[in-house]
Amino acid sequence: MQELTERILQFIEQHGDVDTLDLVPVFGEDHQKIVGAVKSIESTVADVINTTQATRKTWELTEEGKYILANGSHEAAIYEAVPEQGIAQAELMKSSPNAKVGFSKAMSNGWIMMDKSGGAPVIKRKVTEIKDLVRDHLKAVASGRDELPDNVKAEYKKRKILTETVIKSFVLSKGLQFSTSLTKLETDLTVEMLASGIWKDLKFKPYNFDALGVPPERGQLHPLMKVRSEFRQIFLEMGFSEMPTNNFVESSFWNFDALYVPQQHPARDQQDTFFVSNPQLSHKFPLSLLDAVKESHESGTDGSIGYRYKWKLEEAQKNVLRTHTTGVSARMLYKIAHQAGGFKPVKYFSIDKVFRNETLDATHLAEFHQVEGVVADYGITLGDLIGTFNAFFNKLGITELEYKPTFNPYTEPSMEIFCFHPGLERWIEVGNSGVFRPEMLRPLGVPVGVNVIAWGLSLERPTMIKYGLNNIRDLIGPKVDLKMVQEGPICRMNR
Ligand code: FB9
């Protein structure tokens, strides 16, 4: 085997690329042995040769073809079996193993004839000599000289003396580490080699500086977190500070009552909100705030007449999974209204999970991330809200924005916001906004003259648009293809 492997390498060195089938007549070895030597080369030293799979159609003799090659065709055997004086057909048919085929072929070739002139029919020779073409053809095929015309091959295939086979072979060519010798190349210089000095007799594989490095295993932010970073950066650039939203569970008081959402509002029903069973109720609220909120709901504040219903503490105590982050905004407003030194203008933002007991569909799950911006300052107006939201979305590369009146229990006026998305080439809803009502602000202690504008949007919608996803389950959840996360491109919202 060793000698054959070296001969193959020498052949490639001298003649370049070669098909293993073409080495059969060169080395006088059968094809399987040559393929085995190629496999041995590949397993001994990497990259010495390259092999590409090839297939070749070839004609081979069947067992019957090999019989004919050795003994002559059946028709020639019949001709040889006919004596000068002729022979009875029944006698002739016993003369060779394939007499039936041989007789009909010898007749159709015009080599023999039937003579009835003497009464009983006898078979006689019609010619004085014949040429056994079938045997000659098979000799040519057996020696690899494939010169037979297609119609002859087809006839022999039909007679089952030739068969067409597809042989899988390999085209061999020089590899990056081609060498005519198969000495195993060392890939590491070890302490033992240096200490013993054997390194002097070893051959080392040259460095392949073109080899690509193994991509390092690394973490990757989920696309949602990439978009969150982009939004956070925009808020920070605009001078906003992040609110502490690390409480998924919220009391109904902060999630609804403090936002002037009446206790019989449908949003507070089970089909829209997840109520927490343990701990079911909250008990710690600033007493003066409770009274002020109760007062605001029952009989209003600042000239409003309120909702005129009996406000119940036990309703406000029920714990929920927060349905929005606006409850956190209310907590922050209460805090700055009661801080030492009194109220100071602020710009706050938050980006965190909220939970809605909603019907799930391709773009909605029971939880999503709400992005919320809040600005509290003396004398600011709806115009400031529009200008701030425009500035925020301009940083996302969106410039065409439209505002449409809507209703929220805690803001008046309220606006839905739409943009013309250049990528989607259509108008899409991008958020909701408004000016917090006095019935919400006064109980929190926000001074008269201070207005608070706020807006909200989600993280999932822009992320799905950015990453070209149509189903939320391709972005979040157990069916997510982690390759989408690992290979997700860097997120630049304004490009
Ligand atoms: O995110 C939404 N759409 C959106 C946002 C950004 C965006 O970026 C692209 C690069 C351009 C693309 C689309 N929406 C709000 C609109 C719709 O997706 C809507 O179908 C789903 N809404 C959620 C609520 O669904 C139950 C998005 C979510 C939402 C809606 C309103 C608020 C927050 C989140 C709010 C508020 C608010 C109002 C007043 C005061 C304070 C907060």
**Cα(277) to centroid(ligand 1), Å:** 29
> For residue 438, is pLDDT > 80?
yes
Ligand 1 atom with the shortest distance to the CA of 428: 13
Structure tokens at 142: 């057996």
> For position 116, what pLDDT does the model report?
85
- Ligand 1, residues at Cβ distance < 6 Å: 326, 356, 370, 372, 396, 398, 408, 411, 419, 421, 428-434, 454-458, 461-462, 465
For range 169-189, the mean pLDDT: 88
Atom 38 in ligand 1: which residue has the minimum CA distance? 433
pLDDT at residue 211 in the model? 84
Name the residue of 392, 451, 457, 470 to mutate for ligand 1: max ligand atoms within 8 A of Cβ. 457
User: 479 C-alpha vs ligand 1 centroid, how far in Å?
Assistant: 24
Q: Encoding tokens for residue 55?
A: 């297939």
Between 3.40.50.1260, 1.10.10.2330, 1.10.760.10, 1.10.287.70, what CATH number should domain 74-131 receive? 1.10.10.2330
Write down the mean pLDDT value for the chain: 93
Most ligand 1 atoms within 8 A of CB, residue of 432, 460, 469 to mutate: 432
Among protein residues, the one with the nearest Cα to ligand 1's atom 35 is 456
Cα 397 to averaged position of ligand 1 atoms, centre (Å): 17
**Is it the case that residue 146 has pLDDT exceeding 80?**
no
Q: Report residue 105 as tokens.
A: 């072929």
Q: Which residues pair with 402 in a beta bridge?
A: 418
Residue 418 CB contacts under 8 Å (≥ 6 apart), including other chains: 401, 402, 403, 404, 427, 428, 429, 430
Place of tokens 């709901």: 297
CA 462 to centroid of ligand 1, rounded, Å: 9
Per-residue pLDDT, 495: 67
How far, in Å, CA of 142 to CA of 17, rounded? 26
- Distance, CA 455 to ligand 1 centroid (Å)? 9
**Domain extent listing, the chain:** 74-131, 225-486
State how far the Cα of 29 lies from the Cα of 471, in Å rounded to an integer: 61
476 CA distance to ligand 1 middle (Å): 18
pLDDT band for position 489 (50/70/90)? confident
Give yes or no for a contact between 453 and 391, defined as CB atoms under 8 angstroms apart: no
Torsion of CA 18, 23, 25, 26, to 10 degrees: 90
Nearest CA to ligand 1 atom 4: 430
Distance 228 CA to ligand 1 centre (A): 14
**Element housing 7 (H / E):** helix 2-15
Phi-psi region of 342 (alpha: psi -120 to 50; beta: other; left: phi over 0): left
Question: In the prediction, which pLDDT does 488 show?
Answer: 82
Question: Is the pLDDT score of 237 beyond 70?
Answer: yes
- Choosing among 3.40.50.2300, 3.30.70.1400, 3.30.930.10, 3.40.225.10, the CATH entry for 225-486 is 3.30.930.10
Give the span between the Cα atoms of 125 and 133, in whole angstroms: 18
181 or 170: which leads in pLDDT: 170
